[in-house]
């Protein structure tokens, strides 16, 4: 199921007054990664934790809400309602394994 979600990479949502674009779906972590291109760039650390370059701010959002039995509100916003039930069932099944 998560493989079929990759077609939504590039879709945008409005979050806290900023336009954020879905740039990655992390299957193992069951998370979405967004970049907010309207936000001021942040200082990005390199692999050693040293200040590197300025880069757009990214956010990682889990597919499941903190409650764990429903989709995260951001996931419900980015994916069509016709996929919500199937996606939730797939995530809960994977979580129980």
Local mean pLDDT, 10-residue blocks, the chain (97 residues): 88 87 94 87 80 84 89 94 94 80
All residues at 6 or more sequence positions from 26 whose CB lies less than 8 Å from its CB, including other chains? 32, 33, 60
pLDDT (0 to 100) of residue 7: 95
Query: Per residue, what are the HEC states of the chain?
Result: CHHHHHHHCCCEEEECCEEEEEEEEECCCCEEEEEECCCCCEEEECCCCCEEEEECEEEEEECECCCCCCECHHHHHHCCHHHHHHHHHHHHHHHHC
pLDDT (0 to 100) of residue 17: 82
pLDDT (0 to 100) of residue 18: 85
This prediction's pTM: 0.84
């Amino acid at each position: 199921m998560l493989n079929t979600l990759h077609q939504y990479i590039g879709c945008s949502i409005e979050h806290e007054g900023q336009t954020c674009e879905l740039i990655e779906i992390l299957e193992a972590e069951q998370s979405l990664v967004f970049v907010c291109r309207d936000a001021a760039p942040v200082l990005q650390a390199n692999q050693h934790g040293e200040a590197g370059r300025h880069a757009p701010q990214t956010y990682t959002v889990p597919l499941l809400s903190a409650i764990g039995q429903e989709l995260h509100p951001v996931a419900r916003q980015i994916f069509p309602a016709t996929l919500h039930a199937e996606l939730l069932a797939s995530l809960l099944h994977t979580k129980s394994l």
